[in-house]
A and B are shown apart, each in its own frame.
Chain A
Amino acid sequence: MLASYLKLAWKVLGRRKFFTFVSLFGVGFTLMVLVVAVAILDLSLGPQPPEVHQDRMLMVNRVRLSGKGNSSGGNVGPRFVSDFLRGLPGVEQLSYFGNVGSMTSRLRSSSHVTRRTDAAYWKVMKFDFLEGGPFSEDDLRNRRMVAVISRSTADKYFGEGPALGKTLELEVQRFQVVGVVKDVSPLRKLAFADVWAPLTTGRGDPPRPELLGGGTAVLLLSDPAGIPQVKAALRERLARFQSPDPRRYTRLHASLDTRFENSAREIFGDEADDRNHAAKLWGALALLAACFMLLPTVNLMNLNVSRILERAPEIGVRKSFGATSRTLVGQFLVENLVLTLLGTALGMLLALGVLKALSESALLPHAHLGLNLRVALAGLALAVLFGVISGIYPAWRMSRLHPVQALKGGER
């Protein structure tokens, strides 16, 4: 049965070349845009290296102090980490690291994005080390001037070839290279940098122990199921906050979020509200996709209806010989799915080209955009959805045709 449907679908596609072309163009282009969007989303938020443990990772990057008429927000300071994050239940690793900053090299007159981190950072993130390895707790304690650098930084600064053990001079600091890692895309907010150096190598005084500061803390739990407990434990600790300066500040706000929740919070809320905005972000993304797909879907429906009316005599014959409405709907849906899947294949090919061009262009540096399994499956799911929605109304119209009218050439 299915085989004959497929054969029929193929024949129909060949019959009206213009319609087939327009449909394939529409489906292919729509899917291409969606796949590219999904790939960029996956690159910035998906569980890609170095952030492979996202299912059991929680982060906090904003803290807010508030009081009577006063409120002051900022990134996480070292004292917030020591007083509120250390010793939370079920936490396997706790890493605290600074925001990225730019350091220039006078020698090469180049600028490098630098991030200062602790040693646990390398356990929370899984970088691909091409040479050497991360710096250690011991390096931090002794304030050793060592650094991990990215492949492209190594190439830019030292030229091709191994960079291990060489000296990188940035502003007034000289770092010995202990590791070289694969480039990370700037879209990966927590991992991206060109140069990673120990937190204790900051210039001037060591960071002051303050609640607000210039860093981010990431917690790696031993078990994803422990996420609610950890979140609740932090809330409890914050509720017991004793302000050192109650005249100005009385309350301290911060939330532990997953990577996705954190992005949602940045868009829909701030660190001072306890709500979870992830559902809102999913909703917004779905709405955006729906809005985008509306026009192509209606377009395809329209073409499908025209195509069906052209085939009215055939439908009339089939109905006269006893085909039920359901059979006809099924047949038409299969035909439409064949069309959309062909379009999808085309769209995926186009998307591959666009992603390759995007990866190579300077728009998104170090972005290794590609079709991984997650992206391809998401694209396929969207394609099937697209095919069913755009096929169901025309199929219903088709099944409702009266045989007599259909034999005469369709409805008016």
Chain B
Amino acid sequence: MIAHLWKMIWNRKRANALMLTELLAAFLVLAGLGTAGAYYLHNLRQPLGYSIEDVWVLGVGHGISPHEPVPAELMVEAQTLAAQLLQTVDDLPEVEAVAGVMTGPYVSGYRGSQSSDGDDIPVLGRGLPYDVDSATDDFPRVMGLTLLKGRWFGKADDGASYHPAVINQRMAQDFFGEQDPLGQQIGTGAGELPVRVVGVIAGYRQKGELAPPLRYMFRRHLPTAAEVPYHKLFLKTRPGTGAAFEAVLEKRARATGKPDWSYSARRLTDVRDGVRRVELMPLMAAGIVAVFLMLMVILGLTGVLWQNVTRRTKEIGLRRAKGATRSHIYGQILGELMVMTFIAVVLGTVLIAHVPFLQLLEDMTASIYLQGGAAAALAIFLLTALCGFYPARLAARVQPASALRDD
């Protein structure tokens, strides 16, 4: 049956080639859409690694940048004030835990990498880039981080001969594989002291729910003159703390720090919503465009198939005269279309598999492409069936007599 349909298609190959191209292009568009959808779904299902319920972020604008050397006495003063501010906020009755952080989730931060640029330390993780943040000891309590191995840094690290660091699971995997990450060294920090892994946390997808799990490292933030004071305070409040807390927080902060420091308090969920709106905008635009493209394809294919049926009236009429039933005709028109769609899907799959940028996107796994491709294939079969339905109905209504009449 299929072999016969294939013969029918081959006999009209010139007319069908263009239709095949259109189906192929439509499949590619759907595959792109399906892959993007599968990618975001896959990300959504991954553990986030932290919880932002009842978490507030207080931005502290102290105007000290990590790239500019600052007189030591100014730095000491700033660090003292920052430590006082942390204590003040911690003492608020609404606050359960507070931590000073350089970057925190949902915003861009500092990106580090180990290069082999004349260094004698062996390069770990093939020089892969990773994101670095630094936080004070209470950060896991604020964000509800899950420790998988080892511990978070704390008082135990005071005066140690290394800089303690906590990395996320993805980084532990990429850098150390099967080896135990605890006690491993990742470069050197201030004072030429080694940076040593003391713990591994789950997930920590810093860019939020839609982002893939990237390599991430936390360093211990210390109020020393060598370090820039934290840029943000993350605080976990008691459940049910209302919006009025924002004003309380800013007021208390203002009363503590220097007059020229600036403060802005926001609920982390609000920050997330703002970021997500910006993230979703291009996706929505692409989605709307894709829907219209598909509408175009549906209308176009229907038109072409309709035209084909009217041109093949004689052939169909002859089949009817020789005893083919209406459902035979339906089967032929839709069957030919399905075979062509199948060819387009195969061609499209081969084409996609050879696209060089597949390997470029590090976080895209084969299963995401497969899921996206499968969804696209299903969608294109449904779409062509929809397009073929009306023309096939027209074909089934052809009267045998019209095949015999010569006009």
A residues apposed to B, CB below 8 Å: 18-19, 22, 25-26, 29-30, 33, 66, 68-69, 71-72, 74, 77, 101-104, 171-172, 202-204, 208, 210, 212-214, 292, 294-296, 298-303, 305-307, 309-310, 363, 393, 397, 410-412
Contact = CB atoms under 8 A, between A and B. Distances in A.
B32 to A, nearest CB: 9
Nearest to B297: A299
B303 interface: yes
B118 interface: yes
A307 B300 CA distance: 12
B67 A77 contact: yes
Nearest to A309: B311
Interface string B44-80: 0000000000000000010101011110000000000
Given A22-B303, A74-B67, A212-B68, A302 B22 contact: yes
B292 A29 contact: yes
Contact of B22 (A103, A214, A295): A295
Interface stretch (B8-16, B33-41, B163-171, B365-373): B8-16
B26 A214 contact: no
A203 B65 contact: no
Given A104-B264, A412-B12, A214 B65 contact: yes
Interface in B304-327: 304, 306-308, 311
Interface of B: 11-12, 14-15, 18-19, 21-22, 25-26, 29, 61, 63, 65, 67-70, 114-115, 117-119, 121, 187, 258-260, 262, 264, 281, 289, 292-293, 296-297, 299-301, 303-304, 306-308, 311
Given A22-B303, A30-B296, A69-B115, 12 more contacts: A29-B292, A66-B117, A72-B67, A102-B264, A103-B262, A202-B63, A203-B260, A299-B296, A300-B300, A303-B304, A306-B308, A412-B12
A68 B117 contact: yes
Contacts of B299: 22, 25-26
B68 A299 contact: no
A208 B70 CA distance: 8
Given A68-B117, A171-B262, A295-B25, A302 B296 contact: no
A294 B29 CA distance: 10
A69 B119 contact: yes
Question: Is chain B's interface secondary structure helix, strand, loop, or mixed overall?
Answer: helix
Contact of A295 (B187, B297, B304, B306): B297
Contacts of B264: 102, 104
A19 B296 contact: no
Contacts of B311: 309, 410
A101 B14 CA distance: 62
B300 A302 contact: yes
Q: Which 5 A-B pairs have the closest CB atoms?
A: A212-B67, A306-B307, A299-B300, A203-B260, A69-B119
A270 B141 CA distance: 37
Contact of B303 (A74, A306, A397): A306
A309 B307 contact: yes
Contacts of A295: 22, 25-26, 29, 293, 296-297
Contact of A26 (B18, B19, B262, B300): B300
Nearest to B312: A412
Contacts of A29: 292, 296
A291 B12 CA distance: 28
A33 B114 CA distance: 43
A305 B118 contact: no
A412 B69 CA distance: 81
B65 A213 contact: yes
Contacts of A210: 67-69
A303 B302 CA distance: 10
A303 B117 CA distance: 59
Nearest to B24: A298
Contacts of A102: 264
Nearest to A207: B68
10 contacts: A22-B303, A29-B292, A30-B296, A69-B119, A101-B61, A204-B260, A212-B67, A306-B303, A410-B311, A411-B14
Nearest to A305: B18
A66 B119 CA distance: 13
